[in-house]
Structure 1
Amino acid sequence: MVVVSSGGGGGGNAWAKEMTIRRRMASIFNKTQEHFPCLKDYNDYLEEVEDMTFNLIEGIDVEEIEAKIARYQQENAEQIYLSRAKRAEDLAAALKASRMNPGKAGASDTAAGSSQGISSSAGVQGQYAPAAVGMSQPRPTGMAPQPIGGSSDPLQGDDEETMRLRAERGARAGGWTIEMGKRRALEEAFSSIFI
């Protein structure tokens, strides 16, 4: 069921309310497809959770939904606890793997993402790792940040080579590489060829 909300004033506050409700619902209704005998049952479960979430956000039948959530929590307390523990273990394993092997964190990102229902594609650079609810993400390891400007900056000056190096470093700091530009140019060139 897809329902579009008309939304009201106070956009930022409404967004914060929605995110709070969605986080709460996700922490309680955290069953995965493995918990169901077939895909249809799992999809029905997801649709019911989304309907309840939408109604809570919009303020529709709040007391009835809160009672339903309380019943569900009592009946499934052990499953909720086990799912939270498994997710925490997956995130801890991904964090440990990324700290031990910073260059190959893609495999652990995939494992952590799959426990959250997130697909992850391995790329050379610039992988997006969504933030886990209530967990902080590990900081990248490697070179320490270098101060810009000052007397210790080897890229002082306005000659052409220095400006090129400064631009290249700035682009790399943003996650861009020359290879990405070349690959994109080739893809755009060949995508316009009609056979």
Structure 2
Amino acid sequence: MEQTCPRCRTSTFQNPHLKLMVNVCGHRLCTNCIEAVFTHPTSNCLDCGKLLRRSEFRAQLFEDASVEREVDIRKRILRDYNKRQEDFKTLREYNDYLEEIEEIIFNLASGTDIEQTQERVEKYRAANQMQIVKSRSMQARHIQSMEQELAAVLEVDEMQQQMQRAEAERLAELRKKARMDVIDLLATTSRPGEAVRQHLQKLDDLSRPTEIAAPPAPKTLGTGHETFIPTIPMDEGHAYVYVPESIDTDGPPLLSLDEITQRGYSQHWRSLTPTEAAGGFTMDHACSRVLLDAFSGLFCPA
């Protein structure tokens, strides 16, 4: 999608290398306009007049500037509102806390009661300063431990790939040596058939998969320290036995010719013409055919 700088009106169509940047207010500028306008560390936004810092400009990730602004506001608010569910006594209190966060983000993103909302955030920050610092420290340790676990997993994968490459190189070298041996043997032996059979046997042995020792698994689990992982017994229950389901798709049975006459269906028939009666045709057969057509949609047995 084509994007345009609101100041210089340069578009990505005119300059494919155009790079747009956004600040905390959500309004964007291209890098050339930032160099021209922000000659000092701070300057006012050209759209809303808010005092901005040049160092706070970042690359725009979303095409919609409002989405970019909401993401930035959410990141700033969640740095302070960083309590977890374990910090609350009940689930209802935690849900109310999450609802309060969403209300604050909505007000700041939509421009509703900005002063009251900012004052509300400042009061929360002052009242929960120790808890905010503690939660930030826990989050940093958690991120660090996750990075360590990811690095350990990547190291194990790399070791396994190296072992597989080494095994493949070893097999290739053995096959090459086997070919040279059979050539030398064919040149000196009087029994070439036996030499070929031995060569094929060696190739068959080399083609069999060999077990590669698995690299050591990482011993960390969430905290970066050695952790004992208990084995939880599972009740498998009884084995599943398949029982075919029986579904009755047959409709009501068809009426016989006598039942058609007894139930009075013949009262609604027209009289036969002499030509129709001369051929031995009766209205009972016509009614039976009509009922058969009607009942065929009900999966009636023939």
TM-score normalized by structure 2? 0.31
Between Structure 1 and Structure 2, the one with more helix by share is: 1
Larger RCO: Structure 1 or Structure 2 (Cα < 8 Å, ≥ 6 residues apart)?
A: 1
Q: Which has the higher strand share?
A: 2
